[in-house]
Amino acid sequence: MPRNKQKNAARAAAHRAEKTSELRFERKISAALTGCTSHVDRAINHSANWRCIKDTEQAVNCENPKYRKVLNEAGRTINAKQKTCGKSSPPRGII
pLDDT in the model for residue 55: 60
Average pLDDT over residues 20-24: 93
CB-based burial, 39-69: b 16+ in 10 Å, e otherwise:
eeeeeeeeeeeeeeeeeeeeeeeeeeeeeee
Tens-place pLDDT, residues 31-82? 888 888 777 877 777 666 656 656 666 677 777 777 777 766 666 666 677 7
DSSP 82: P
* Spatial separation of the C-alpha atoms in residues 38 and 61, rounded to whole Å: 33
Are 81 and 91 in contact by the 8 Å Cβ rule? The answer is yes
pLDDT in the model for residue 24: 92
